[in-house]
Amino acid sequence: MVSYGLAYGMEAYGLAQRLGIENKEAAKILNDYFFAFPSVKEYMDNAVNQAKEKGFTETLFGRKRKIPELKSSNSRVRSAAERQAMNAGIQGLALIYSKLL
């Protein structure tokens, strides 16, 4: 649940809702996950930071996706855009992979 949810930008609140637990417990689960797999957090942070700098994400094969909402003054819109930035690389590679099959 955690790995799948993180790929779509799930945070402690969402995990707590899905598992029927307190937010504090869900936050601990996520912190423990990131401690065990630090490269996941690093990938997520880098994906968002690079997208903010460039205005788009890019897959390993060069496929680009513009995300202008990263500059939104609305925090909800901006948060959704950040989740898109995290997810775009994963989905972009999955798309290419499925086309190769």
In degrees, rounded to 5, the angle at the alpha carbon of residue 2 between the alpha carbons of residues 95 and 12 is: 115
Low-confidence ranges of the chain (pLDDT < 70): 7, 93-94, 96-97, 101
pLDDT digits (tens, 9 = 90+) for 77-101: 999 999 999 888 777 766 766 777 6
Return the bridge partners of 58, or none. 64
59 three-state secondary structure: coil
Q: How far apart are CA 99 and CA 101, in angstroms?
A: 5
Q: What is the DSSP letter of 73?
A: S
